[in-house]
Amino acid sequence: MSDETRVPAAPHPVAPGVLDLTPRPGGAPLLRQVAAQASMETRLLVRNGEQLLLAVVIPVIVLLGGVLGSEHLGLDFSRSPVDVFAPGVLALAVMSTSFTSLAIATGFERRYGVIKRLGASPLPRSGLLLGKVGALLLVEAFQVVVISAVALALGWSPDLSVVGALLALALGTAAFASLGLLVAGVLRAEATLAAANLVYLLLLAGGAVVLPSSAYGAFGGLTRLLPSGALGDALRTACWTGGVAWTSLLVLVVWAVVGTALTARSFRWE
């Protein structure tokens, strides 16, 4: 009998009670791969002091400084200072994680060849992106818990729309994550670090993320079209009136779609 027609030998039977150690090559199911990647991304983010500073420390400082500073200076808001600042600081936390932290981490992963090496693993590109999104959602859930606890301790009493808040958080994450990957995918790691931090500071100061768009006078209409202003206004509507800011959510959808399309066309994996 020739080699071409030889019938392969049947596997050796395994005796009852004996552990079967026969190799079964192949990748794990996609869901398990995504969960493992999300877990790794979360651990890396939490271990990074700079990213942890952006994720939790700075938003909490902004919240405490805004509330206590407003009370000390006697600033007059239409609502209590904590009611004004708490939704904006939640929006700031989402922006810091899904844009700044994601852009910086992804930029240096490209520089050190991490993404290129992951591309040689069974994890598909969609799994890599889903893992990053999963890590973002885990970190943001932690941020919401911490910031909300601090705000409640300061006397925050929101008239909350859960649907409006969840839509704002989800669409805000999608918009800023797509923009963060866009920056990380076209710039070198050092340039990504500088650009992400610069954009973060500019939006913090003038993007209507912490304070409402109405506080910017004639520029208020422009800030409502920024992803920072749209996210901040959507969360303020959800927390102030218990409503859903559909116009602001639509702005976030547009930013998410445009950012995703540009990222898909320009992102370089190495």
Q: How many residues does the chain have?
A: 270
Domains in the chain: boundaries: 30-266
Which two structure tokens, joined as six digits, stand for 247? 């116009």
Residues sharing a CB contact under 8 Å with residue 13, sequence separation 6 or more, in sequence order: none
Question: Residue 61 corresponds to which tokens in the numbers above?
Answer: 């400082």
Rounded Cα distance between 63 and 150, Å, is 8
- Identify which of 189, 232, 224 has the alpha carbon closest to the alpha carbon of residue 84: 232
Q: What is the C-alpha separation between 270 and 258, in angstroms, rounded?
A: 23
- Secondary structure (3-state) at 245: coil
Digits of tens for pLDDT over the chain (270 positions)?
444 455 555 555 555 655 666 666 666 676 777 777 778 777 777 666 666 676 788 889 989 988 888 776 656 677 788 888 999 999 999 998 899 888 888 888 777 777 767 666 666 666 777 777 888 888 889 899 999 999 999 999 888 899 999 999 999 999 999 999 899 888 888 899 899 999 999 998 888 898 888 888 878 888 999 999 999 999 999 999 999 999 999 999 999 999 989 988 887 766
Distance, CA of 78 to CA of 242 (rounded, Å): 17
The answer to whether the CB of 59 falls within 8 A of the CB of 92 is yes
pTM of the predicted model as reported, rounded to 2 decimal places: 0.82
CA triple 10-8-19, angle to 5 deg: 35
Q: Which residues of 68-77 are buried (b: 16+ CB within 10 A; e: fewer)?
A: eebeeeeeee
